[in-house]
Structure 1
Amino acid sequence: MFHSPAGVCFSFQEGVDYATEKLEQLSLLSEDPQYDAESEYWNDWITLDDTNPLLTQSLESNYFGVGIWLPSEVEDRMHDMQAGEWIINHGLQFSVGLGDKQAGKPRMRFDYRWHNQYDGDVLMQVEVPF
C-alpha cells in the first residue's frame, strides 16, 4: 500500500515544495497583486488594527478572514504566560468585509469574536465617504 520503488524516505525540501505548490493552487500563497490587495484590505480601519485576520480570501468585492484575538481581561498578563496559557487565552475571530477599498465608495466590516472562557462580541464598522 505504501510501498514505493523510490523508498519511503522523502526529503524535507520535496515536502516544502509540494506544500507550496498546493497552497499556490488554492491561491492562499501567491505573489500576484490580488493577494496583496486581500491582505491590505484589513488595514486602515478605525479599530482592530492589532486583530486583523491572519488568513484572508476574497470573492469579487467581498473579503473573508480568520484570525485570533486576546480578551482585554488577560492582556496585562500576556507577558507572564506560559505557551499553553497563551494559546488557551486567545480566541477566534471571523471577519467579513463588504465593498472594495476605493476612494468615494462605501464599505462595511463585520467581526465576530469568540472565546471559550470570556464573552465574545460582534463588531460592525461602516465607512461612508463624504
Structure 2
Amino acid sequence: MSSWLDDISWNEKGLVPVITQEISTGKVLMFAWMNRQALEITADTGYVVYWSRSRSCLWRKGEQSGHEQIVKSIFLDCDSDTLLIQVEQKGGIACHTGRYHCFFKQLEHKNWKVAAPILKDPNTIYYKN
C-alpha cells in the first residue's frame, strides 16, 4: 500500500517547496522547504515544521518566537511537486525579520524597496545561540 507521502514528487535532495498562506487573509506569508519527516510531523501534530537547508535540520515554526503556524489545510499542486499550507499565524509575525510576512522587498525602478515595516525587533523575539 502506497503512503500519501509517496504521492509527492520530492526533488533530488528529498525536499518539496512549500508556500505558506494565512487562511484568514489569503496572503502568502513565506516560502520554505520540507522533507518527508517535516511533512509527516506537520500532518500528525497540526503545527508546521520545515526543513532548514542552511542548518540541515528540522525546525518548528515559532519554536523560539512563539509565532507558531497552526495547520488548517494542506494542498498538493497538480504536478505533485509543491505544497500549499494554509495556516493560522500566531502573533501576526511570520518573518524572522520581525515582519508580518517574508515578502517585504518590492521591485521599483529596478531597485528593491522595503515595503513592509518591522513589527517587532527580531533581537527581542529570538534566542541567541
Same fold (TM over 0.5): no
User: Which structure: greater helix fraction?
Assistant: 1
Name which one, 1 or 2, has greater alpha-carbon Rg.
Answer: 1
User: Which structure: greater strand fraction?
Assistant: 2
| Superposition TM-score, scaled by structure 1 size | 0.30
